[in-house]
Amino acid sequence: MLKRIHLKLRSPDFQALGLLAIVGAFIMTFCSYTSPAFYFDTSPDNNAFFTVGKAMMHGIVPYKDIFEQKGPDVYLLHGLAYLVSSRSFLLIFLYEIATVTAAMFLVYKLAKLLNASELPALLTALLSPLLFLYHPYYDYGDTVEFFTLPLLLSLIYLMVLLDRRHFNVSHWWYFAQGALVGIVFLSKYTLLGAWIVFYLLVVGRLLVKRQWRQLGRVIGWSAAGFLLTTVPWLIYFLATGSLHAFINVYILFNTKVYLTSSVAAFANLVQSVTLVSQFYWGNVLFFALGVVGTLVVIFQREVFQSNFSRGLYLASALGCDLLALYGYQAGSVYQYYQLIYFGFFVLPFVYFCQLFFRHVTLPQDEAPFPILATLLLSLFLVLGVNNNVTNSKVFPNNTSITERQTTKPQQPAQIDFGRIMRRQTPAGTRLTLLNYGSIDMGFYTASGAVPNTYFFQNYNIPQSAAPQILQSQRDVIQQRQVEWVVLNTPAGKTVKQWQGGSGKITSGNLNPGTSKLARVLNRHYRQVAQHTQVFEGVNVTYWLYQRK
């Protein structure tokens, strides 16, 4: 056993994995807001996930006792992160390192599957973070799309493997893919497009060929994997009496309210095609890899040998792209939704890299120089497509931290307000907070507050579509149900002056307006602090109020 472990540790694959893990840790340190190199993760989505995960760890049931629309697997991950570090994203940072490492390692394995030797495969993997961290599609980090990328790459690897082995692979492949389908379904089901198409076509092929034994094997093992990752949640929702709430929020609310389009199914499909087309035409690299590259790889016999495999890959790519934006209108698509497209850039990227390395003379033995040179090029390219580092501690007092002109070290509003709230809340007393009018801006995270209201934040939907959300928040203030209230306005506007926009959260996460709330707020609460910093290109002033 020890000899086998020793041989495994000395294998090229394990050594490649170790190097990729080191590279992944270094890159994510300067690209992800969850990194300790950043003052605070100001992403609204990340903090909302963390807040709900924290609530779960305190016995609060998602969908039933607290409102948010992502899947329960997302909240469980962030709940575990809360247990590791109650006011930071340390565990998520480590998970992001694992994610980018897994994605790079799958690139390496995919290159080897396409008959690349060790060194070209490793060099290709070292260059691949360019595809996974492309800003603004990879923005703050910690998105379901990013975490899904290596899962999607495993499906792409399986498609190439099936082609190589004439569809004879271990049943564990189907078990694993079934489990991944369950995870993605309970994280963000609009990312399931590739798996839906894959299973429809594979099952259809087996039905046509009447390969009943193989059909039972595919369905049975995939179903077993799916049940493994979904049944525990079914038991949880039944035990907590929240299954109805889960269906109402995660399924019905997301499809009927959160999606921006209300037209017929076919019109939504055409609309999705239009948005995908605009994405590919908007960037030369995307067009080269996503359109030209896809056409190249499906017609190269050294990539796919059978027509069915070519069709399977192409249809899965289209299914992934179209479902990811199904039901959205132009102008309402957040760019991080489209990060999932980059998974299908990988196979063309690997193929083009192999074409290049065939025309370059590489050493056959130890090759530190090509690896070092490729590593430096990769870091250069990553920093060229992702400038998150400019908001990190490498640049003290940057505008995302403060708008004050000072050389004295500053902290963002979230950390400043969090300290105030913890300091002025008596020991043994539960700290209660309401994030009024905007998406969770991180004040629950920084203060350690556990939400005691159903609508603990606002959402990116028109107020007319769900008026109960802001009305519920106003009632909380009117009835003085929380000790602290945080809200925001454009810099230069007071709470009394800010009338908001169209009833929907605007750029910079500004809320729909605070002027109508000002009288009630000032009657029951007093202003304690304010802080101005830049968020998503907008100068925002955050206001902290305490109950009188």
pLDDT of residue 522: 96
Are the beta carbons of 77 and 314 closer than 8 angstroms? no
pLDDT of residue 9: 67
In which domain, by residue range, is 478 found?
A: 413-547
Q: Do residue 195 and residue 317 come from a single domain?
A: yes
* Domain-terminating residue out of 360, 381, 400: 360
CATH at 425: 3.40.190
In a domain, 188, yes or no: yes
The one-letter amino acid code at 437 reads G
Q: How far apart are CA 24 and CA 12, in angstroms?
A: 18
In a domain, 343, yes or no: yes
Q: Do residue 168 and residue 281 come from a single domain?
A: yes
Q: How far apart are CA 524 and CA 146, in angstroms?
A: 43
Q: How far apart are CA 79 and CA 65, in angstroms?
A: 15
Q: Do residue 329 and residue 444 come from a single domain?
A: no
In a domain, 124, yes or no: no
Q: Do residue 422 and residue 292 come from a single domain?
A: no
Q: How far apart are CA 226 and CA 364, in angstroms?
A: 44
* Residue 114 Ramachandran class (φ > 0 left, ψ -120 to 50 alpha, else beta): alpha
Q: Do residue 352 and residue 233 come from a single domain?
A: yes
Bridge partner list, 535: 538
3 state SS for 337-351: HHHHHHHHHHHHHHH
Q: Do residue 226 and residue 316 come from a single domain?
A: yes
Q: How far apart are CA 169 and CA 180, in angstroms?
A: 17
Number of structural domains in the chain:
2
In a domain, 540, yes or no: yes
**Residue 404 backbone phi and psi in degrees, to 5:** -70, 140
pLDDT of residue 129: 97
Q: How far is CA 177 from CA 29, 132, 346, 450, 475, in A?
A: 30, 21, 19, 36, 46
pTM for the model stands at 0.95
Q: Averaged in consecutive runs of 10 residues, what is the pLDDT profile of the chain (548 residues)?
A: 69 92 97 96 96 98 96 98 97 98 98 94 97 96 97 98 95 98 97 98 96 97 98 98 97 78 75 93 95 95 94 97 86 88 98 93 80 94 94 90 82 96 92 96 97 94 86 96 97 94 82 94 97 93 97
Q: Do residue 349 and residue 424 come from a single domain?
A: no
